């Protein structure tokens, strides 16, 4: 996989001041088999409007783009052919300066960077690298005349169960490699880590350097076997922030979707519920503020007053 051959755990010689800001999650893109079935999930059950379609840079089927807010999107592509395929296509982050960020990547030589930044099919400046686990990671700078910017304020109906993506989850085999990319190279900040018990770390959350969103490592169980497609669908996920889990949970049921389980308080002390599209990619809804003290480690969330959590 691109970038793996040049991995080095040595400290980077470049400071964060040389890296343009990475301000939040821009999108997550996943494969689906049946586009109409997926539209019923993302469009009907979750209540998002399909704002537009986009050409894929790699030549795959067009993305159908569901708008969460003016800066965040869920993209689906009907290219899933084998039930054993990984559904994740890429995760994406918004940057303040795509050209300078590409230059920063090239100067560090930690991963392969493209020769230059292109204007993409939407009219934004973007480029893609692979992290040290092999995931495609896109960085996008929204431009004034792009299809996204021209549609600011549009395609955001009241049916949306959430108006913000809190985090995206990725399967991680090697925490050291993942940390070298997200923490050492890009400056992501520790938020929380834990698991089903205090002695089993399985989930690690890292805030983007210059915003409130985060990426969540979903660590493997350490066994010899790779996760099944069903397990990967749960690991490679999108999390939507809500103020009240029960209201959107009831809403999706009223719209004809049957959740697999009722909402629960997770190990990090937050209320959450899980929904799955027809191809098993998970959408999580979560209240950001814990209602009880998190298990396993301290939560370092600068956007939450943890002194209020008992």
What's the half-sphere exposure (Cβ side, CA atoms, 13 Å) at 292?
A: 9
Structure tokens at 165: 């993506």
Residue 257, domain member (yes or no): yes
Q: Torsions phi, psi of 16, nearest 5?
A: -60, -25
Contact assessment for residue 2 and residue 111, using Cβ atoms and an 8 Å cutoff: yes
**pLDDT number for residue 223:** 59
pLDDT bucket at 9, cuts 50 / 70 / 90? very low
Question: What is the extent of the structural domain holding 268?
Answer: 165-308
**Residue among 171, 137, 188 at smallest CA distance from 2:** 137
Do residues 178 and 76 share a domain? no
Same domain, 26 and 134: yes
Task: For residue range 13-61, list pLDDT tens digits in order.
Answer: 455 558 999 999 999 999 999 999 999 999 999 999 999 999 988 788 9
The answer to whether residue 2 sits within a structural domain is: no
- Give the residue with greater pLDDT, 86 vs 9: 86
**Does some domain include residue 115?**
yes
**Rounded distance, CA 97 to CA 95, Å?**
6
**Which range among 135-144, 172-181, 195-204, 211-220 shows the weakest confidence by mean pLDDT?**
195-204
DSSP at 105: H
- Distance between CA atoms of residues 296 and 310, nearest Å: 15
Does residue 41 fall inside a structural domain? yes
Q: Which of 150, 178, 206 is the last residue of a domain?
A: 150
Q: Are residues 124 and 174 in the same domain?
A: no
Same structural domain, 177 and 293: yes
Tell whether the model's pLDDT for residue 254 goes beyond 50.
Answer: yes
Assign residue 303 the CATH number of its domain.
3.10.180.10
Final residue of a structural domain among 118, 150, 182? 150
Q: Is 157 contained in some domain?
A: no
Is 4 domain-assigned? no
Both 212 and 186 in one domain: the answer is yes
Number of domains composing the chain: 2
Question: 128 with 211, same domain?
Answer: no
Longest CA pairwise span in the chain (Å): 54
Using CA atoms, how far residue 243 sits from 42, 135, 272, in Å, is 20, 31, 11
Are residues 225 and 143 located together in one domain of the fold? no
129 shares a domain with 41: yes
Let me know if residue 7 belongs to a domain.
no
Give yes or no for residue 221 having a pLDDT over 90: no
* Mean pLDDT estimate for the chain: 92
Q: Are residues 183 and 48 in the same domain?
A: no
132 plus 259 within the same structural domain: no
- Residue 109: inside a domain, yes or no? yes
Which one of 84, 118, 150 terminates a domain?
150
170 and 117 share one domain: no
State whether 72 and 173 are in the same domain.
no
């Amino acid at each position: 996989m691109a970038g793996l051959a040049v991995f080095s755990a040595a400290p980077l010689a470049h400071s964060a001041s040389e890296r343009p800001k990475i301000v939040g999650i821009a999108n997550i893109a996943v494969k689906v088999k049946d586009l109409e079935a997926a539209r019923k999930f993302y469009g009907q059950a979750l209540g998002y409007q399909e704002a537009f379609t986009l050409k894929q840079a790699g030549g795959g089927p067009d993305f159908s783009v569901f708008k969460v807010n003016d800066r965040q999107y869920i993209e689906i592509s009907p290219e899933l052919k084998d039930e054993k395929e990984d559904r994740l296509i890429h995760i994406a982050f918004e940057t303040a300066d795509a050209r300078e960020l590409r230059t920063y990547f090239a100067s560090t030589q930690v991963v392969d960077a493209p020769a230059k930044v292109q204007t993409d099919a939407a009219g934004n400046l973007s480029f893609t690298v692979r992290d040290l686990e092999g995931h495609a990671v896109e960085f996008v700078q929204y431009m004034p005349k792009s299809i996204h910017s021209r549609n600011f304020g549009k395609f955001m109906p009241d049916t949306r169960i959430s108006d913000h993506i809190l985090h995206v989850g990725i399967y991680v085999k090697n925490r050291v490699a993942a940390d070298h990319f997200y923490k050492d190279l890009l400056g992501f900040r520790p938020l929380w880590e834990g698991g089903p018990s205090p002695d089993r770390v399985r989930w690690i959350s890292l805030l983007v350097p210059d915003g409130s969103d985060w990426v969540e490592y979903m660590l493997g169980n350490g066994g010899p076997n790779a996760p099944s497609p069903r397990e990967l669908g749960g690991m490679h996920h999108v999390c939507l922030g809500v103020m009240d889990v029960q209201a959107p949970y009831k809403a999706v049921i009223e719209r004809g979707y049957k959740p697999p389980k009722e909402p629960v308080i997770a190990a990090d002390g937050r209320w959450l519920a899980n929904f799955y599209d027809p191809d098993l990619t998970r959408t999580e809804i979560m209240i950001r503020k814990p209602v009880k003290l998190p298990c396993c480690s301290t939560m370092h969330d600068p956007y939450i007053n943890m002194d209020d959590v008992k």
